[in-house]
Amino acid sequence: MTIDGDAAYQVLLARDARFDGRLFVGVTSTGIYCRPICRVRTPARRNCRFFDTPAQAEAEAFRPCLKCRPEIAPGPGLAWTVMDASRTLAVQAAAALDASAASGETPSVAELAARLGVSDRHLRRIFFAEHGVTPLQYLQTRRLLLAKQLLTDTKMPISQVALTSGFKSLRRFNAAFAGGYRMNPTRLRRTSKADRQSPADAPTTSEDAPFTVTLGYRPPHDEAALLAFLSQRAIAGIEVVDGLAIRRTLRAGAIDGADGAAAGWLEARFLSEASRVRLSFAPALGPASGAVIAAVRRWLDLDAAPEAIDAALAELPGAPGLRLPGSVDGFELAVRAVLGQQVTVAGARTLARRLVERFGSEVATPWPEVHRAFPAPDVLASAAIEQIAELGIIRSRAGAIQALARNWSALTPLIARGGDPERLVERLRELPGIGAWTAHYVAMRALGWPDAFPPGDVAALKAMQRLFATSTPREAEARAAAWRPWRSYALLRLWNSLSAGDPR
């Protein structure tokens, strides 16, 4: 995409946070590229080159700024669009490469093309046309930026940083890092430590200390609404909201799907004045750091573009910066959605607590109120249906939960970043006891699908009748079409508009 340099320079002069993560400036006099909100001295216009992505900047031999840290910038935002087919494929390919970088995988372009149903030659062509770099250049940038974040924020051994970032050997990692950033990893860590402004910013050195990283987002972020939503649905023992922080456990395999992955815990704390989140997580999750970071970004909707969403939903009541609550454990969310069928939020929470008490496992955390992991799919799949039903869960829903559990390994790839929400809805609806509303709700939150609008949602229909005098579901659907591609956010605004509503 072509960027208007003069307009982009005005963004830089204004330090406009709306463009954070969607625009980067390379400074030819220093060879460094920055976020548009960087607080260093503004370069002269003649020394500025503008890029859509870090990959474009690094392909032109610019290295990331150590002050504004491009690796913590929010992502570009909307992953599902109404753009033309080629651009959509290119965006889906980038999302899949982001997921690969987060998980440490090394997919070939041919494998990625096969997943998307096109030839690798076609994928290379449309990817370069949309992103200005090749798929492998894009993936290498994502890996190096993840490595830079872990080197800067944590005391993770450099050899583990290399493996976590997707490099198969320390030698290859050192060579790639030095080639891209013109310094070796040890020097970056030393430089980053010297640049910290206070001792509180320094990573803890003990081996059992948590890893702590910084995540950025575009303001405004209505964290109060998001945390209230999560608090109302928090399962006792698994999740708790405390002020601007949310703490929870993670079952083994919840993040990266690996059967041998360790269970752990995390805490996300909003630093509102800085438009950042401080994420801390158990050392046991260190090997999955990239996947944890990506999952938390989706969970807290840190890559949203609030100015576009708020503008599209101006006719609906609500504060600016409303975010779509996601999930760090898609299986937990899907089971919770089944438990929520035709019962209140409080009722579903009670049933979920009983399920966790019976089938969950203990996890050591820093907080006594957070101590249990959600049961794994194989545990619920192998349980006698009577054991689930005796918790007060009607037999048909117990059967739906077991169907989810038995099919979860096949569903997991559809919940990966960049997955097709409509395909996920289709597969979920093939399972017994999973209706259209439940399938859309799972896709909305597990995938972060911004355009979900679960059919027949009673609370939404009630709110639309009050606001717009719609009298039938068909009228409501037609009215909601104007909110595409942000109908999930519209749904949240509709729910919140009801003084006595009880949405799922």
With residue 141 as reference, give the H or E element that holds it. helix 135-153
- For the chain, what is the radius of gyration of the CA atoms? 23
63-64 and 32-34: which strand pairing? parallel
- Model confidence band, residue 364 (pLDDT cutoffs 50, 70, 90): very high
CA dihedral 167, 169, 175, 178 (to 10 degrees): 60
**Tens digits of residue pLDDT in 182-195:** 999 999 998 876 56
Question: What residues are labeled active site?
Answer: 34, 457
What pLDDT does 7 receive? 95
* CB atoms near residue 422 (< 10 Å): 15
In the predicted model, is pLDDT for residue 18 greater than 60?
yes
- Secondary structure class of 464 (helix, strand, coil): helix
Q: How many CA within 13 A on the CB side of residue 12?
A: 26
What pLDDT does 117 receive? 87
DSSP 8-state assignment for residue 447: S
C-alpha closest to that of 415 among 291, 488, 491, 331: 331
CATH number of 211-446: 1.10.340.30
- Model confidence band, residue 196 (pLDDT cutoffs 50, 70, 90): low
Q: Which two tokens stand for residue 201?
A: 């910013």
What pLDDT does 200 receive? 43
What pLDDT does 420 receive? 82
CA 174 to chain centre: 28
pTM of the model: 0.92
What pLDDT does 248 receive? 98
Mean pLDDT, the chain, integer = 91
In the predicted model, is pLDDT for residue 79 greater than 60?
no
What pLDDT does 499 receive? 65
In the predicted model, is pLDDT for residue 339 greater than 60?
yes
- Model confidence band, residue 207 (pLDDT cutoffs 50, 70, 90): low
Mean pLDDT (whole number) for 409-427: 87
**Tens digits of residue pLDDT in 291-303:** 999 999 999 999 9
- Fold observed for domain 85-195: Arc Repressor Mutant, subunit A (1.10.10)
Q: How many CA within 13 A on the CB side of residue 470?
A: 18
In the predicted model, is pLDDT for residue 501 greater than 60?
no
Structural class in CATH, domain 5-72: alpha beta
Give, in order, the Cα–Cα distances in Å from 311 to each of 292, 324, 425, 484, 501.
31, 16, 28, 12, 25
Mean pLDDT (whole number) for 101-128: 89
Domain boundaries, the chain: 5-72, 85-195, 211-446, 458-497
CA distance 77 to 371: 34
What pLDDT does 199 receive? 43
**Tens digits of residue pLDDT in 233-258:** 999 999 999 999 999 999 988 986 55
Instruction: Return the minimum-mean-pLDDT range out of 106-120, 167-181, 310-324, 434-448.
Output: 106-120
What pLDDT does 201 receive? 47
What pLDDT does 195 receive? 62
Give, in order, the Cα–Cα distances in Å from 406 to each of 187, 354, 366, 367.
49, 21, 33, 32
What pLDDT does 3 receive? 87
